Amino acid sequence: MNKKLSVLLSVLLFPGIVNAASDGGLLLKNQREAWAMKGLSFDPHLIEDYVSVLKGTTHKDTWLGKFDFITEMDLEKAGILKGGLIHFDVLNTHGGLKPTADQMVGDLQTVSDIEATRSTRIYEAWYQQSILDNKLSVKFGVIDLNSEFLVSDSGGLYINSALNMIPSMWINNQGEAIYPEPVPAVRLKYSPNEKFDVLVGFFQGNPLGNDDNPHSTHFGTRHGLLSIEEGQYHYKISWMGQMEGTLKAGFWLNSTHVQDVSAIDIESNPVMYKNNYGAYAIWDQAIFRVKDDQGLNIFLLGGGSPQNRNTLEHSIGGGLNYTGLIPRREKDILGFALTSASLSNKLRASTGQDRCETIYEGMYQIHIHQSIYLQPDIQYVFHPNGDPNIANATVFMLRTDVHF
């Protein structure tokens, strides 16, 4: 490998560390920052989860990992086109050796939000154009629905999937349009002022599964459209010392045909419905502040869908996060949360499953550096999959998160 290429790779992977000179005598220190000023940015991002599951007298371990290499080109900074942005993300998911964490626990609400079939794929690839002083934007390409919709800033700190993606949406849509399999989509966003945002998205509603599309290079011709609309209200409560909060509410409709969870017709075929739908709401609220971002936050989220055509009738979750509880550890975050997924009454009547699966999670996020943190995490899974025959599980996890 020649000297210039070695220096370039070092700058990409270890920003701020390298201070070398090219043959022309130009310093390469903070080269990524210089490129960013011209519109080109890179964000290599690695997450590794060690997972240890204790269920009854059985103890098993596994590990999960994902690596993203995200590249963006701001066309306005590059002097090409005002309001234009190109985004490209290559994803590698690894670990997950058999048995997987899901297989060990047997849960519905996945204990790790990075668990996926091992593969290297195009994760997101989209173009966004903003107009009207950035009040209106349109994005199209391969998009992860959960990158903008159904997002709780506080819930996203937890490892369990159900706290950063409402289960009544993703489980009832069989994980379509979200990690690790985004789909072709169009998203519109209108922000008339700093208090309100309105998002509308149209996603492929019945995509190919991971086995047919492991690299996100073939999307098939299956019919169906998943549409989602979300309104967001950002506010401050004056009598609480200008504590910031956000309310979000949305509705989704999937035009793909779905079958009844238990009913059959006179020919013993499943009763079919022309579409599926549901609604949800999210609340994030700061309770008090010591200084800046240091203090206590609360969050709640929930959603529901018709019980006759869905695994889950509704799901709820919520928790408390305290940033900077320990002196001299102002950025560390301590959090406790729970999430409960209620199985459809109609489904339970035919399967004998319990009413709900409930998960309790506690975590402590330790900030080692501005781009590195460790997160010890413990989850207790009560009634996995709502099945009385599956033992409750205690899951210990250690997450390592690095932005290079």
Q: Where are the domains of the chain?
A: 1-32, 38-403
Amino acid at 26: L
pLDDT band at 10 (very low <50, low <70, confident <90, very high): very low
Stretch 183-189: mean pLDDT: 95
Q: Is 158 helix (H, G, I), strand (E, B) or coil?
A: coil
- High-pLDDT (> 90) share of the chain, %: 61
Question: In sequence order, what are the residues at sequence separation of 6 or more whose Cβ sits closer than 8 angstroms to the Cβ of residue 293?
Answer: 323, 324
**Angle 382-385-390 from CA coordinates, rounded to 5°:** 70
Distance CA 384, CA 343 (A): 11
The β-bridge partners of 343 are 312
Distance CA 236, CA 244 (A): 4
Distance CA 303, CA 167 (A): 8
**Topology (CATH level 3) of domain 38-403:** Porin (2.40.160)
Sign of the CA dihedral 318, 324, 325, 326?
positive
Burial environment of residue 115 by CB neighbours within 10 A (0 to 12, 13 to 18, 19 or more): buried
Identify the H or E element spanning 204.
strand 196-204
pTM as predicted: 0.87
Distance CA 262, CA 282 (A): 31
pLDDT, residue 345, reads 85
The residue behind tokens 């290499």 is 69
Distance CA 11, CA 23 (A): 16
Q: Is the pLDDT of residue 313 over 60?
A: yes
Could you tell me if 76 and 65 are in contact, meaning their C-beta atoms sit under 8 angstroms apart? no
Stretch 2-17: mean pLDDT: 43
Stretch 380-396: mean pLDDT: 92
Distance CA 28, CA 18 (A): 7
DSSP β-ladder status, 58-74 and 40-55: antiparallel
Stretch 180-209: mean pLDDT: 89
Stretch 248-266: mean pLDDT: 87
Distance CA 399, CA 378 (A): 11
Distance CA 349, CA 145 (A): 32
The predicted-structure confidence for 316-357, as pLDDT tens digits, reads as follows 999 999 999 998 899 999 999 999 999 988 888 877 777 799
The predicted-structure confidence for 92-123, as pLDDT tens digits, reads as follows 999 877 677 888 898 999 999 999 888 999 99
Tell me phi and psi for residue 349, to 5 degrees.
-65, -25
